[in-house]
Amino acid sequence: MTQSTIALTIGDPNGIGPEIAVKAAAKLAREGGPAVVLVGDEFVVRFYADLCAKDLTIRSFDGVAPGPNSLRLLAVDALPREALTPGTPLAAGGRATVDYVAAAIRFVNDGHAAAIVACPHSETSVNAAGIPFSGYPRLASTLVVEFSGRSAV
């Protein structure tokens, strides 16, 4: 890992987060900056890449520096395809949001990235999934404690 690698979670897959994440990662891929690894469902990232970054290739994270004109992805299989409903908050999107954060924390703990940036979430969706949620900081601290005890969300 280089110290400048950032895990960028896509947030609520049915919100504005995936578009923000893909646009930010694409800008950095084109213009330079810290290395970014998108964290989310591959089909969601591809949906937004087709809209916002057609010139870039999506490559699964493999620990090797990406080639030019590519987005790196840590794929998380969290959202059922039928639950991708942009603009409509769903419990499945809330569950996926939490799964993306959990995967990003494991990714950092494994030494692949130095930091996590989390795109917008829907507190309503996360709570609808039965997960008490009042923001990323409390969620992240809960997940870190759970991971240290070897249980995962």
Reported as a single tens digit per residue, the pLDDT across 13-56 is 999 999 999 999 999 999 988 899 999 999 999 999 999 999 99
Q: What strands lie across the sheet with 115-118, from one edge to the other?
A: 57-60, 70-75, 36-40, 6-9, 115-118
Q: pTM for the complete prediction?
A: 0.88
Q: Is residue 12 part of a domain?
A: yes
Is residue 64 predicted with pLDDT exceeding 90? no
Banded pLDDT at 152 (limits 50, 70, 90): very low
Banded pLDDT at 139 (limits 50, 70, 90): low
Determine the structural domain holding residue 131 and report its residue range: 6-148
**70-116 tens-digit pLDDT:** 999 999 999 999 999 999 999 999 999 999 999 999 999 999 999 99
Report the CATH number at residue 125: 3.40.718.10
Q: Which two tokens stand for residue 36?
A: 């970014």
Q: Is residue 126 part of a domain?
A: yes
Task: Return the pLDDT at 90.
Answer: 96
Banded pLDDT at 4 (limits 50, 70, 90): confident
Q: Is residue 121 part of a domain?
A: yes
Instruction: Please give the Cα distance from 131 to 125 (Å, whole number).
Output: 9
**Residue 70: strand pairing partners:** 57
Q: Is residue 153 part of a domain?
A: no
CA angle, corner 152, sides to 130 and 133, nearest 5?
35
Compute and round to an integer the Cα radius of gyration of the chain: 15
Q: Are 36 and 24 in contact (CB under 8 A)?
A: yes
Domain total for the chain? 1
Q: Which of 101, 43, 39 is nearest to 72 (CA)?
A: 39
